[in-house]
Amino acid sequence: MKTTLALISLLALVATPAAAGDLDQLTTRLAKADSNHDGMITRAEFTGFRRTQFDEMDRNHDGYVSDKDVPGFARRGERGDRLRRLITEFDKNQDGRIDRTEFLNGPTVIFDRADADGNDVVDGFELRQIKAGA
């Protein structure tokens, strides 16, 4: 279950704006993209983070992220609806799954939202702002 929640959280991180209750978790995950630990996340670091996360999300190792990577219980209700919306956002060729290229080039709404000044760097102040729900 922990892996399932991580999958949904990661997809949410890289795709859509989060609900207020998810912001704390999402900013924590966004901070993990800070590969050089300087307190700032560049767009390049964020892309690198996506690259490393794809394999974690592709639980059945078929080269795609799809509902097959999520246990049945998580495909129902709100989580399932959210997962389907996220897959739809990334799935450019509309085959019902996300390949590595679609994932790496997919929407970056959370990064873009956090990068308030648009300089392709999320700094500590911007992280605190998104965490506060600003």
Angular region, 94: left φ>0, alpha ψ -120 to 50, beta rest: left
How many domains does one find in the chain? Answer: 1
pLDDT, one tens digit per residue, over 41-81 is: 999 999 999 888 888 888 889 999 887 877 666 667 777 77
Sign of CA dihedral 34, 101, 72, 88: positive
Structural domain for 125, as ranges: 2-131
The dihedrals phi and psi of 10, each to the nearest 5 degrees, come to: -65, -45
For the domain that residue 80 is a member of, what is the CATH number?
1.10.238
Burial of 16 by CB count in 10 Å (0-12 exposed, 13-18 middle, 19+ buried)? middle
The pLDDT, as a whole number, for residue 74 is 63
Do 33 and 41 meet the contact criterion of CB atoms below 8 Å apart? yes
